[in-house]
Structure 1
Amino acid sequence: MPNKKKLPVADTDPLHLRAIRLALNGSYRFSKRLAGQWCYRVLAKPPRKILLPAEKDFLADARQQVIPVGIMQIQTYHWPGSGPKILLAHGWNSNSGRWQALASQLIIAGYDVYALDAPAHGASVGGSFAVIYYGNVLAELADTLRPEVIIGHSAGGMAAAYYLKHYPEVHHPEKLVLLSTPAELNHFMESFRKGIGLKKAVIDAMEMGFTQRFGMSFDYFSIAKFVRNLRMPGLIIHDEKDDVAPVHGAYQMAENWPNSELVITSGLGHSIQHEQVRKRILDWLAY
């Protein structure tokens, strides 16, 4: 479709994007605070992505359980196996269906596989989405499920790094895989701004409200800094043309995380859904 704008990590209808852009940019002319609040709401409660038929069948085969975390009811999926336990964390405006191809291969290989729908995503109910909230949920689930491996895509990787930094007392996995993970929250926010076509002033207004809400600005959420404390082996896979999470951030994370391995792909974009990626993950886990 010509001139189609892309929302980060999403398959959102271009007409919906245009409506969001017009509403947010237009509201800023009347109220800076209101524009920031609306922009935060778009990020915190994105439209729920519809499952493809194959994804729906894949999730239907899992053992499903809703786990309460604070005011949230987090939907989890479990495909039992005799091997090491793996927890899969998807990115923003996605759901556990995105793991269909990778999880299917992990299941065949005998791994004990879990996935979750992030706050305000998929079939999870209550709360809203933010790296802090997602990190809190991962900390709770990790302490309950005690996975040997966590694999996070995009914001799922950010949330994993956040919990590992801020919850040293809870269970930590033996291995961590970060797929297309932004090194800085600011990187994600800038791609979100460009993807929709927002004025920078709208994002600035949202950051003011974000800082008041959480007591921290976007600058604080530096995954490149968070990974400095990690001691477990890590695998970082990133595409050189990622239009959501700039690839230079992946190099920075690898430099700050001595026990990590960096794999750079070409032509796979931010979704990084490809057989060569899945094979690399499986080979690395088996090593």
Structure 2
Amino acid sequence: MSSKIYFKQTGGVNLRRGFINVASRLHHRIAPAHAKQFAKKLLLTPVRSKKVIIEPEGLVRQSIETSEGKIMTYRLGSGPTWVLGHGWSGSSSQFFPLMEYIAQAGYTALAFDNPAHGESEGQFGHLPGFVAALDGVLEQQDAIAGIVAHSMGGAMVLESRHLCLESKPVLLVAPVLNYAENLMTTVERSGFSMKLFQEVIDEIAVSYQYELESINPLQRLQLTKARTVIVHDKADKFASFSESELAGELSHVTLIATEGLGHGRILKSEQLRQGFDLLARA
């Protein structure tokens, strides 16, 4: 499903929203089990991009085993390792330009495709699965120098309690810092049955012992004292810039605001490279 379902900020009542509301509620009432499976497929299935991306020279692919199945990793360069995590309906290929920059700076760039994304296994994607996959990748590293995350990947990093991340610098790109609120609000705006949606997230909560209400990336950022740089576009339509402004008031957080780059193009920006330099050369 398109990332717009989860992160788009626009609202408004329209005929399509009304139809979705009636249809999903009726489906749930008539065939609850089937409706739940349909909802999981609709709400938890990311878009796997089929766009052909030219890989950087020297890129090494390796599939690793995790609790979320086989996760595809992409390694470039040598030296201390920076881990890179993408967001919903994204993939590691979005990081290729930054990975080349990191490798040229004397580091190893290690990106991975989240469950049900890119070339990793999995049918469904969700934040608890993202966190488990990240922890699985980190388990196989001796140590890391820092971590980079885009969009929902920012929530993934901040929600992880892995010891490997303790005190390590964090570069957040267009992060979704109000994840739970944003998710609930946007699904509601879509018109989808909130009762049916709640059943889906309750199932995930039980399976992963991970309540949606407990997810609060901004609060996690407030509690951590790791050096953090946020690079975020003021007109981002998918992740709230105002939340990043709040985070920028924290003493250990530096906010680099951009204009005209949106949610995706920012990954190829000079400002992102500057953000990396601030952390890597500190």
TM-score by length of 2: 0.81
Q: Does the 8 A contact of 2:73 with 2:112 survive in 1?
A: yes
Q: CA deviation at 1:225?
A: 1.0
Equivalences for residues 14-29 of structure 1 within 5 A: 26-29=23-26
- Offset of residue 141 of structure 1: 1.5
Separation in 2 of the partners of 1:100 and 1:9?
Answer: 25
CA distance 1:281–1:203, change in 2 (3 Å) = farther
Per the alignment, residue 15 of structure 1 pairs with none
Question: Are residues 1:73 and 2:70 paired?
Answer: yes
SS at match of 2:149: strand
Seen in structure 2, the aligned counterparts of structure 1 residues 274 and 77 have a Cα distance that, compared at 3 Å, is: closer
Residue type at the aligned position of 2:46: P
Secondary structure of the structure 2 residue equivalent to 1:31: helix
Paired position in structure 2 for 1:51: 51
The answer to whether the Cα contact below 8 Å between 2:229 and 2:253 also exists between their aligned partners in 1 is: yes
Residue 139 of structure 1: how far off its partner (Å): 1.7
Shift of the 213–99 alpha-carbon distance from structure 1 to 2, 3 Å rule, reads: closer
Choose from 173, 177, 185 the match for 1:179: 173
Query: Take 1:49 and 1:205, find their aligned partners in 2: how far apart are those partners?
Result: 28
Name the counterpart of 1:260: 253
In structure 2, relative to structure 1, the CA distance for the partners of 1:219 and 1:22 (3 Å cut) is same
Read off the aligned partner of 2:127 and give its amino acid letter: V
What is the one-letter code of the residue matched to 2:214?
Answer: Y
Contact 1:66/1:75 (8 A) holds in 2:
yes
8 Å CA contact retained: 1:142, 1:172: no
Q: Deviations over 1:133-185 (max 9, x none)?
A: 1111212222322221110001111111111xx33x45536211111111122
Q: How far apart are 1:87 and its partner, in Å? A: 0.7
Of the candidates 274, 278, 281, which is equivalent to residue 275 of structure 2? 281
Q: Aligned match of 1:147 in 138, 144, 151?
A: 144
Deviations 1:81-116 (CA, angstroms, capped at 9, x unpaired): 23x311110111011111122112222222211110
Amino acid at match of 1:153: H
Equivalent in the alignment of 1:205: 196
Q: Which runs of 4+ in 1 moved over 6 A?
A: 21-25
Describe how 1:1-287 pairs up with structure 2 within 5 A: 7=4, 26-31=23-28, 33=32, 35=35, 37-52=37-52, 55=53, 57-58=54-55, 61-82=58-79, 84-126=80-122, 128-145=124-141, 146-163=143-160, 166-167=161-162, 169-172=163-166, 174-189=168-183, 193=187, 198-199=190-191, 201-215=192-206, 217-255=211-249, 257-271=250-264, 272-284=266-278, 285-287=280-282
Unaligned runs of 5+ in 2: 8-15
CA contact (8 A) 1:36 1:204 kept: no
Aligned-residue CA RMSD (Å): 3.1
Residue pair 2:167, 2:225 contacting (<8 A) in 1 also? no
User: Percent sequence identity over matched residues?
Assistant: 19
CA contact (8 A) 2:170 2:226 kept: yes
Matched letter for residue 4 of structure 2: L
Query: Structure 2: how far apart are the matches of 1:23 and 1:237?
Result: 35
Separation in 2, partners of 1:181, 1:235: 11
Shift of the 204–61 alpha-carbon distance from structure 1 to 2, 3 Å rule, reads farther
Q: 2:231–2:272: 8 Å Cα contact kept in structure 1?
A: no
TM-score w.r.t. the length of structure 1 is 0.79
Offset of residue 245 of structure 1: 1.2
Contact 1:185/1:219 (8 A) holds in 2: no
Structure 1 counterpart of 2:45, which letter? K
